Amino acid sequence: MPLARVVSFEGVNSDRMTEMRSRMQANEQPENVPAGELIVLHDPDAEKALVILFFENEDDYQRGHEALDAMPSDETPGKRTSVTKYEVAHRMTS
């Protein structure tokens, strides 16, 4: 069953999000983070962000989780406030 790693951040202003967007678009996904998809949501008024990464299985999730947990704080959008693992019950795109 696919899994999602959902991480919330605070202190993410628009300038920081613009910087992070540029860095994400310029770099390929790290080899040690085998996520199939990445979604970044930003609320500029509240200076909060939510990052959702999708993994195909538990092994991929664990490898990605360990690599992302070890990431230096200057590589993240803001102050990490929570990390939660979810089973992907259903997913649909148009």
pTM of this prediction?
0.86
User: DSSP letter string over 4-58?
Assistant: EEEEEEE---HHHHHHHHHHHHHSPPPTT---SEEEEEEETTTTEEEEEEEESSH
> Which pLDDT belongs to residue 62?
94
State the 10-residue block means of pLDDT for the chain, 94 residues long. 95 92 76 82 96 94 90 82 96 86
* pLDDT score at 83: 94
Per-residue pLDDT at 74: 74
Domains along the sequence of the chain with CATH:
3-87 (3.30.70)
pLDDT on residue 85: 97
pLDDT at 59: 94
